[in-house]
A and B are shown apart, each in its own frame.
Chain A
Amino acid sequence: AQSVTQLGSHVSVSEGALVLLRCNYSSSVPPYLFWYVQYPNQGLQLLLKYTTGATLVKGINGFEAEFKKSETSFHLTKPSAHMSDAAEYFCAVRGKNDYKLSFGAGTTVTVRA
């Protein structure tokens, strides 16, 4: 079974600063990888996904993530934080032949003015 580790349950950044959210997965075969964002009392919205091909993936709202097979990582970044980025972020993994997603515990981002 896949497992996902998100380092840091809370991240606080200043407006305009770099946002870096870390995600590591356990898998012997490169899986499908996803980042989702959740605003309070709402469902999850897809930010970006990696399936095959280019390892640097660009998503919505200026976010991007890089798949590094050697490090089994899929860290999420945004060069300049905006107040609207305050939310909870989830990394998720699915095996190549698996219908189920495994989620990390989530990272809550707060943005300081």
Chain B
Amino acid sequence: DGGITQSPKYLFRKEGQNVTLSCEQNLNHDAMYWYRQDPGQGLRLIYYSQIVNDFQKGDIAEGYSVSREKKESFPLTVTSAQKNPTAFYLCASTPDGGVGQPQHFGDGTRLSIL
């Protein structure tokens, strides 16, 4: 079955450490997105990519970085500059740029500080 795979499901970060969250999709979707979810705040967009080798900052990009070297992969790095990284991170994708199309979501990665 096609879908979005996020790994790991749980991740712990030490002080000053960068960590990378994986997102892989086999839906052949062009656009991919990263969201951060905090209780009572809904989902906030970190970065998105409409095509390979191109990506744009979302609403809360500071302290995060991404790459899009392959269509099916959109990893997110949480850098040491992100002072409050504890959250639930969700990856999503849409076909063909996605205008009007719903986003498909992975099952998320929960990141905590050690």
Digitize B70-114: 1 where CB-to-A-CB distance is under 8 Å, 0 elsewhere. Answer: 000000000000000000101010100111101111111010000
Do the beta carbons of A99 and B99 come within 8 Å of each other?
yes
CB closest residue in chain B, given A35:
B102
Mask of A35-65 contacts with B, CB within 8 angstroms, 1/0: 0100001111110010100000000000000
Interface size in chain B (residues, C-beta < 8 A): 30
The winner among A4, A49, A90, A100 for most chain B CB atoms within 10 A is A100
Does B98 lie within 8 Å of A99, measured CB to CB?
yes
Q: Does B40 contact A105, Cβ atoms closer than 8 Å?
A: yes
Taking the complex as formed, is A26 at the interface, i.e. its CB lies under 8 A from any CB of chain B? no
- How many A-B contacts if CB must be within 8 Å? 63
A97 at the B interface (CB under 8 A): yes
Chain B residues whose CB sits within 8 angstroms of the CB of A94 once the complex forms: 99-100
A106-B105 in contact (CB<8A): no
Which of chain B's residues have a CB closer than 8 A to the CB of A12? Answer: none
B99's contact among A41, A90, A96, A106, by CB below 8 Å, is which? A96
B41 located at the interface, meaning its Cβ lies under 8 Å from any Cβ of chain A in the complex: yes
**Least CB separation from B58: chain A residue:** A100
Which residues of A come within 8 Å of B, CB atoms?
4, 9, 32, 34, 36, 41-46, 49, 51, 90, 94, 96-101, 103-106
Q: B: which residues have CB within 8 A of A?
A: 4, 6, 9, 31, 33, 40-45, 48, 50, 58, 88, 90, 92, 94, 97-100, 102-108, 110
